[in-house]
Amino acid sequence: MTELSSPTVSPDGRTIRILSYNVHSCVGTDRKLDVGRVADMIAALEPDVIGLQELDVGRRRSGGVDQAEEIARRLKMDFHFHPALKLEEELYGDALLTAFPMRLVKSAALPSIGEPRGALWTMIEVAGKKLQVFNTHLGLLRRDRLRQAAALTGEDWLTHPELEGKPVVLIGDFNSIPSSAPYRMILERLSDARRQTGRLAAPTFPARWPILRLDHVFVGGGPQIVNAEAVSTPAARRASDHLPLLVTVKL
């Protein structure tokens, strides 16, 4: 098993690697449940900041494992988890992981008619710079995605008074292609890879034959995206039903 021992920030402290990854409860396209395989997949990419979606915590269907904690332990990272869905003692949701100093600012639900969704907001310190990092997973219903994008871009989240002029990164599975209304709503507040590099990453879903760009990283307040790629190795096509999205950001 490969483990990360320290952040891979560039020598000048200005370039970091950000990963957005819907891990599908660590069940791969071969229907195999394997938390270790997902952790190894992530470790091989050497990300500094990781936004994970669709994690099981204490669920019978995945052996009762706390997947957020287990992946963080294997990567030697700190983490914060938000349970978007609670079924008695069973939880399902999203997490942010990093080896940099990290503080949870907010963890809360987003408006949902269908399956419950939520978001996390943390402050991560990178080489003396404070980076506001968000992770989310928007719903399957278009009506939900519109309301959730509106909430995220509102004063409780991305336009919160405390964020004015501060560097921001928004990570997630938005279930939204770049031509969609929720995506364009977020783009009114933040920038994407196309705006900053001239091109978007390749599609991320479904992993075996990707045709849709559903996973995205947005930035604002200073950070610049210098590269964005969907990782489409044989291992990545097996580990989850989404491909990992790896984005290099200059602070």
Which residue in this structure is represented by tokens 């079924």? 87
Question: What pLDDT sits at residue 5?
Answer: 43
* Banded pLDDT at 2 (limits 50, 70, 90): very low
Q: Are 169 and 157 in contact (CB under 8 A)?
A: no
Question: What pLDDT sits at residue 8?
Answer: 52
Structural domains of the chain in order of their starting residue, each with its CATH number: 15-250 (3.60.10.10)
Closest to 132 (Cα-Cα) out of 92, 94, 159, 99:
159
Q: Are 136 and 117 in contact (CB under 8 A)?
A: yes
**Sheet of 215-220: strands edge to edge?**
102-110, 117-126, 129-137, 168-173, 215-220
Phi and psi angles of residue 154, each rounded to the nearest 5 degrees, phi first: -90, -175
- Dump pLDDT digits (tens) for 115-174: 999 999 999 999 899 999 999 999 999 999 999 999 999 999 999 999 999 999 999 999
Task: Show the DSSP H helices in the chain as ranges.
Answer: 35-45, 67-75, 142-152, 181-187, 193-197, 234-239
